[in-house]
Amino acid sequence: MFKQQQILVQDLPNIQNLYEKYQLDTSKFDELRKNSQDFKVRIPLIGAFSAGKSSLINALLAQKLLAVEIDPASNLATEISFAEADQILGFKDNQFVKELSFEQLKAQEFDDLGANGHVEVKLNHPLLQSLPHLCLADLPGLDSKSEAHSQAIHHYLGRSLAYCIMVSSEEGTLKESIKNFLAELALHQAPVLVIISKSDKRSADDIEAIKQQVKQQVQAILPPNNYLNVVVASRKQFDTVITALQELEQRSEQRFKETVVKQSTNAIATLQQHIRPLAKIIF
């Protein structure tokens, strides 16, 4: 935990007790307590269908967790993060529906979650443990014709630390759908990391040329402060991807300060405003 996170986890019950003592609205504390104890920021993986998002996650975790040959129409957003105990949860319209098995996840046996559903995968895995405040979100292909899928992708706008754009080396350049999405991210000033996938299928010189071209294309669309990096992933080499994710983990503390700490500070300020008049009466 961050230092301020530890302090909040310890002090929030005391602040809530004071709220109850002075009969103030305590409804905000359930969310504050949850966010302070298990703070995570989302890293959506965005790309065209078959860009290699699920394959990358499987390779990073060294296990066949997600299906890679799927029907685009049935694909749901899948959020993956660290937890002490493994658990897979299915949600429909953000409401918990049922617990899933690993076999059901891989077979995508969750039709009852609906087009607006999503899956949360919590794993006790060394890589995820090194990224305790990140939640990797494998989203449907950007070229999906489903309106629900489009809504799922845009649902993460404003809720994410950074976007991870997957570009297959087979394409060798940014598709129009990716360019359009980057333009939208530019409006929201969202940081972007680009990963060149399937690099084993091209020569080292080709990959470097693709990397430089993609970098130029992305920088031409994004504001300078929102471009993070372009890295290459191959079947045998993921160090650059892991390093990029670790750098995002380091950024998560600032987001914690901007959100949870700020909300907690506002709660304390409200309490102080209520107590000051009482202090004048007493003294």
Considering the domain boundaries, does residue 43 fall inside one? Answer: no
Query: What pLDDT does residue 192 have?
Result: 95
C-alpha distance from residue 2 to each of 20, 28, 132 (Å): 27, 21, 11
177 confidence band (pLDDT: 50, 70, 90): confident
- Distance in angstroms (rounded) separating the CA atoms of residues 240 and 231: 6
Residues 96, 84 share a domain:
yes
126-163 tens-digit pLDDT: 999 999 999 999 988 776 655 555 665 677 777 789 99
Residue 83 per-residue DSSP state: -
Considering the domain boundaries, does residue 45 fall inside one? Answer: no
Query: What pLDDT does residue 30 have?
Result: 92
The first and second tokens of residue 220, run together, are 């031409």
Residues 147, 56 share a domain:
yes
Over range 14-20, report the average pLDDT: 93
283 confidence band (pLDDT: 50, 70, 90): very low
The model's pTM is 0.87
Indicate the residue among 110, 134, 159 that finishes a domain.
159
183-219 tens-digit pLDDT: 988 988 889 999 998 888 788 899 999 999 999 999 9
Residues 124, 59 share a domain:
yes
267-281 tens-digit pLDDT: 999 998 888 776 555
Percent of the chain at pLDDT above 70? 91
Rounded to 5 degrees, φ, ψ at 193 are: -110, 135
Counting the structural domains of the chain, the total is 3
Indicate the residue among 159, 191, 211 that finishes a domain.
159
Alpha-carbon dihedral of residues 106, 197, 188, 44, nearest 10 degrees?
20
Domain that holds residue 265: 1-38+244-283
Considering the domain boundaries, does residue 56 fall inside one? Answer: yes
Residues 152, 55 share a domain:
yes
Considering the domain boundaries, does residue 253 fall inside one? Answer: yes
CATH of the domain at 61: 3.40.50.300
Residues 107, 136 share a domain:
yes
Over range 54-65, report the average pLDDT: 90
